[in-house]
Structure 1
Amino acid sequence: MIFSVLIAARNEAGALPWLLRDLAAQTLPAARFEVLVADDHSTDATAALVAEAAREVGFSLRLVPLGPVQTGKKAALLAALQVAQAPWLVCTDADCRVGSGWLVAYAARVAQLPRANFISGPVLLTGPATFLHLLVGLEFAGLVGVGAACLARRRATMCNGANLAYRRAAFEAVGGFADNAHVASGDDEFLLHKIHAAYPGTVHFLADAASTVRTAAPATLRALLRQRVRWASKWRHYQSAAPRRLALLVLGANVALAAGVGAGLVGPALWPWAVAAWAVKLGADAWFLWPVLGFFGRRRWLWGLLPLQVLYAPYALAVGAAGWGGGYVWKGRAVR
């Protein structure tokens, strides 16, 4: 056995059957992986669903219930990890979908890079063809691309817990989640930063379309903002300088563009400079996103670059300010 697939689930009875079907369709032989679903005190039929599926699927599937004082995604992943049997831990979310070649792609990457300790995979947002989904999907594809490019440059900045894998020995060597267990979010990026710091050159990106994990984009603007505030709440806890610098660079560039428009309204002579700055920024973004969107088969999203740029500065400032406060509601729980 090479992989233990860890899935933290809370009230996912509606989504989890689809993921279990995808796992049953893996082209990697069933003897080479196991699936552990950690039930985070679900109040729906999640636990019963997994228990029933374990008797029917053709791979090793186990339910791992959390104890009374254990709550949250990190606690769920840790509970699953404690009973996992494989040297590599592959993580995804209960509401995700994976292709049949998902684990085979990871197996090939592990074989190709025998010294690897952490592998980040691509994630694609799916949803209806709405303007909101276009902008959210484009932004998210950009984040995936930036994370991959930084890893190629041996700068660990961002990844997504919906699609990643790490060596169990490396997880234990860096202390796992112990030093950030008080932060509800960050089960992915904190670990990425720590393994990169402890084992430079052993963190990689899996640029294989077969490894893409698909997950539904937030359906409403309110849901989007709540998700992004949750993500932003971990920024102030980063120990690594690289993601802090990247976040400040991105925020500064977008605020500067908005300020340029304001300056042009006050002093018309400044308009050529403002227009030139916008042209350079949009051109650079299009150049960067073209191969990323091609990888995902979503180059049609590129037309949303201009409206996304117009909206990004106030959006980023609002989310950053709300995330700095650290409070949000997730899965029916108030988190500080």
Structure 2
Amino acid sequence: MAIFYLLFGIVYTGLLVELLLLWHRKYTNPLKGFESPMVSLLVSFRNEKDILGYFFECIISLSYRNLEVLFINDHSNDGGNEVLQGLIDNHPSLPFPVYILENKGIGKKAAIDTGIASAQADLIFCTDADCRVPENWIENKLGHFENPKVKMVGGPVMTSGQKGFFQKFQQIDWASILLVTKAGFEINSPLMCSAANLAYRKSAFLAVEGYQGNDMILSGDDEFLLKKFVKKFGPESVVYQNHMEDLVYTQPQQNWRSLFDQRSRWASKWNTHGSFNHLLGSIIPVLFQFVFLSSFLLMVIGALDLWVFIFIWIAKVGSERIVLGKVLQQYGIKHHFFWFFLVSVFHPFYVIIIVFRILFFKNEWKGRRVFSNI
């Protein structure tokens, strides 16, 4: 028993170090001589009236000018559509055209389909209405599309705000998500990306028939599309750029319930991709957390020596502090060791709660069932 846990602590540390090495691999973004093609930016929104004003100001501050912005209203009932129209009317000298479309279906995937059908450009950029994108966000991605083999470019997303344990927990948790995301791209087996920071070719979207085959699952407009691109065009067709200049900030969840709802919704797709690598990538992290939690029980009942228990938790806390701390530092975010310690101890319980919710509760998103178009 002791040998297993000792080896487990060593292996876990080694895996995190390997992920960090993959994180630091650089991908050259060729920008020289690239023309300024037209870009269509798609933004689906639903019941987000209170943040549309801030987001609108962020979007019209983008430095790229050969651009059209298409907001797709996904059946909002909070007056957000009227708010957005008012913002457009109050800016008669917009730097590029901004349109509001009504979703022809139900859900975000249908909203993106609606936007794609109206988009004038072949290069499609996507983000969410609760995000803040850098001023040079579009230019930072365009260089990759010089290569005709590149069909999709993903980028990092991070929550804003560092008040107290809850917001710090979200940032450290996001660091682990970014770390695994980048590693998947580097080993030519991408597992996930975020629609809050995504660009792809409209022609490629149409070639893979968009969301056909998974359109009944309201969530996953990013991951399912990523897998389709890889299957159709090969892993070299997708790129993940983790530069500071490409970072998109999103609003942190406001309470634990909303955070668990969000993460449960994301994780609920674990067995719907038809990919063994994705299935394995979903199960292994959960098993790791079960092992860490089991050490508490075994130590309490005397089946595990105290020094072994201390060793594996020092390995966990220490390696996560170093590796996830490096990821956050790349984006100018620093947290004291104390916060990493708290997050590291709490995280296994957090993961198990999410697993429990997936297995025994119905997941909803903006008032809709995740696995239903009702």
Confirm or deny a common fold (TM above 0.5).
Answer: yes
- Of residues 193, 213, 216 in structure 2, which corresponds to 1:159? 193
Partner Cα distance (2:337, 2:119) in 1: 42
Give the corresponding residue for 1:242.
277
Give the corresponding residue for 2:226.
192
1:133 aligned onto 2:167: yes
Partner Cα distance (1:235, 1:326) in 2: 15
Task: Report runs of 4+ in structure 1 exceeding 6 Å deviation.
Answer: none
Give the corresponding residue for 1:293.
328
Contact 1:109 1:206 in 2 (8 A): no
- Of residues 115, 119, 133 in structure 2, which corresponds to 1:98? 133
Give the corresponding residue for 2:84.
50
- Of residues 133, 142, 145 in structure 1, which corresponds to 2:176? 142
Contact 1:4 1:86 in 2 (8 A): yes
1:79 aligned onto 2:114: yes
Q: Give the secondary-structure state (helix, strand or coil) at the position aligned to 2:126.
A: strand
Contact 1:138 1:304 in 2 (8 A): no
Partner Cα distance (2:73, 2:153) in 1: 25
1:165-189 Cα deviation digits (max 9, x unpaired): 1111221222211110111111011
Give, as a single letter, the amino acid of the residue that structure 2 aligns with 1:66.
N
1:12 aligned onto 2:48: yes
1:60 aligned onto 2:97: yes
Contact 1:50 1:62 in 2 (8 A): no
Give, as a single letter, the amino acid of the residue that structure 1 aligns with 2:276.
A
Deviation of 1:334 after TM superposition, in Å, equals: 4.4
Deviation of 1:255 after TM superposition, in Å, equals: 1.1
Partner Cα distance (1:240, 1:166) in 2: 22
Give the corresponding residue for 1:316.
351
- Measured at CA, do residues 122 and 335 of structure 1 come closer, stay the same or move farther in structure 2, by a change above 3 Å? closer
Give, as a single letter, the amino acid of the residue that structure 2 aligns with 1:308.
V
1:96-139 Cα deviation digits (max 9, x unpaired): 1112111111123333x442111111111013511111111110
Contact 1:156 1:242 in 2 (8 A): no
Identify which range, 313-322 or 218-227, moves more after superposition: 313-322
- Of residues 71, 84, 88 in structure 2, which corresponds to 1:37? 71
1:278-312 Cα deviation digits (max 9, x unpaired): 23333332342233111221122654222222222
1:157-207 Cα deviation digits (max 9, x unpaired): 121111111111221222211110111111011111121122221111112
Identify which range, 129-138 or 296-305, moves more after superposition: 296-305
Give the corresponding residue for 1:209.
244
Q: Give the secondary-structure state (helix, strand or coil) at the position aligned to 2:43.
A: strand
- Measured at CA, do residues 102 and 12 of structure 1 come closer, stay the same or move farther in structure 2, by a change above 3 Å? same
Q: Give the secondary-structure state (helix, strand or coil) at the position aligned to 1:14.
A: helix
Count of paired positions = 331
Give the corresponding residue for 1:181.
215
Contact 1:233 1:326 in 2 (8 A): no
Which structure has more relative contact order (CA 8 Å, sep 6+)? It is: 2
- Of residues 109, 124, 135 in structure 2, which corresponds to 1:89? 124
Give the corresponding residue for 2:15.
none
Partner Cα distance (1:59, 1:161) in 2: 22
- Of residues 109, 115, 118 in structure 1, which corresponds to 2:152? 118
Q: Give the secondary-structure state (helix, strand or coil) at the position aligned to 2:249.
A: strand
- Measured at CA, do residues 110 and 208 of structure 1 come closer, stay the same or move farther in structure 2, by a change above 3 Å? farther
1:184-241 Cα deviation digits (max 9, x unpaired): 1110111111211222211111122122111111111111111112112222212222
Contact 2:219 2:370 in 1 (8 A): no
Q: Which runs of 5+ in 1 are unaligned?
A: none
Give the corresponding residue for 2:25.
none
Give the corresponding residue for 1:21.
57
Partner Cα distance (1:18, 1:37) in 2: 14
1:46-102 Cα deviation digits (max 9, x unpaired): 2223334444222111111123xx111111111011101111111111111112111
Give the corresponding residue for 1:284.
319
Matched-pair identity in %: 28
Give the corresponding residue for 2:300.
265
Partner Cα distance (1:224, 1:151) in 2: 26
Q: Give the secondary-structure state (helix, strand or coil) at the position aligned to 1:300.
A: coil
Partner Cα distance (2:77, 2:63) in 1: 33
Partner Cα distance (1:147, 1:88) in 2: 23
Partner Cα distance (1:301, 1:156) in 2: 31
Partner Cα distance (2:226, 2:129) in 1: 21
